[in-house]
Amino acid sequence: MIMQKWWRRALRKVRYVAAGSLVVGLLSVLPVSPASAATGQISGLAGKCVDVAAASSANGTPVQLYDCNGTNAQQWNVGSDGTIRALGKCLDVADNSTANGAQLHLWDCTGGANQRWTVTAARDIVNPQADKCLDVTGNNSANGTRLQIWTCTGAANQKWNAPATGGGNPNPSGFVVSEAQFNQMFPGRNSFYSYSGLTAALSSYPAFATTGGATISRQEAAAFLANVSHETGGLVHIVEQNTANYPHYCDWGQPYGCPAGQAAYYGRGPIQLSWNFNYKAAGDALGIDLLGNPWLVQNDSAIAWRTALWYWNTQNGPGTMTPHNAMVNQRGFGETIRSINGSLECNGGNPTQVQSRVTTYQRFTSILGVPTGANLYC
């Protein structure tokens, strides 16, 4: 029944996003220094450390395993911007390669995806572009053994104790988007759309941004956040701005009617939940009486985020698949647009709005250090 109703979204799509508020350029990713960093040794196989050969800061200097000695060649800054730095330069995958066995060296920090790293809760250090782990070549613990990237196996030669938390995840939430990255994405957001509210909501849909490997997980997070950014003018608007539409979102043909009132089911939250039947479906799925109290979506940050994740993970909308499945199955960002507002924007319906979503997605994937993938448009 919900799927038969999505044509009615046309009433609410005149809402908010003013052209002047849209970000139209890609964010520069040429950091001079990490926004914040924890500094120390990175230890791993046989208790040895990640080391810059001969403590040289020259471009191309090999990065290797070596006895821990506390010198500057082993002092690494694990930054919230995704870089790992020593001697003023970045840990870099040679030749921008994503292949197994691509070696690591030191290089000038460029902001490239081959210099982006994520320390996971499982103590892997992952390059999201390659979706591969920092690896000791040949499982060899001898001093001078080169470090490389390799498909993540969970083996001891891929486990590291990074300085951020003494070996754990530098992002305590476990979400693939750190709070610093979230704030970078939404510098002017309404405080209602809190990072803590978002991370509290993640447990409702544990497959979100955790499926398909590091790259796909970050692409999905970027896609979700890009779409909600578009829906809310950069996480500024909590409720639909066109109040004249409010009385139109009650379908009295539903057996449960509109117990909160004729004008109570207007758009709210990150993905602008609207219509009484959608409040009913989302509330039933989440175990919350949203039909009787739709105001929870505008008063409780975690509930607002949960409704957006409900749609993202369970609803096809006017598309043929959920946005979650579109990203996990690598159907592309364009398919997420189709599932959210394809009946009005896709197939030439509103190319300006589609471009706005795509531009934001490109910016967010840049922040997360991953490629956009194919099929950006619908």
> Using one digit for the tens of pLDDT, what is the confidence trace for 234-269?
999 999 999 999 999 999 999 999 999 999 999 999
Residue 121's pLDDT band, with cuts at 50, 70 and 90, is low
> Using one digit for the tens of pLDDT, what is the confidence trace for 50-75?
999 999 999 999 999 999 888 889 98
Residue 15's pLDDT band, with cuts at 50, 70 and 90, is very low
Q: Within the chain, where are the H helices?
A: 179-185, 195-201, 214-232, 276-286, 296-299, 301-314, 323-328, 333-345, 351-368
What is the pTM for the complete model shown?
0.63
Same domain (yes/no): 233, 375:
yes
Same domain (yes/no): 320, 374:
yes
Residue 10 lies in a domain: no
Residue 82's pLDDT band, with cuts at 50, 70 and 90, is confident
Catalytic residue among 220, 231, 335, 345: 231
Please indicate whether residue 231 is annotated as part of the active site: yes
Asked which of 108, 128, 158 is the last residue of a domain, the reply is: 158
Same domain (yes/no): 190, 293:
yes
Query: At 243, which CATH number?
Result: 1.10.530.10
Same domain (yes/no): 43, 121:
yes
Residue 215's pLDDT band, with cuts at 50, 70 and 90, is confident
pLDDT for the residue numbered 370? 85
Same domain (yes/no): 144, 231:
no
**Structural domain boundaries, residue 54:** 37-158
How far from 336 is each of 134, 154, 207, 319, 349, CA to CA, in Å? Answer: 32, 32, 16, 8, 15
pLDDT for the residue numbered 37? 56
pLDDT for the residue numbered 152? 85
> Using one digit for the tens of pLDDT, what is the confidence trace for 338-347?
999 999 999 9
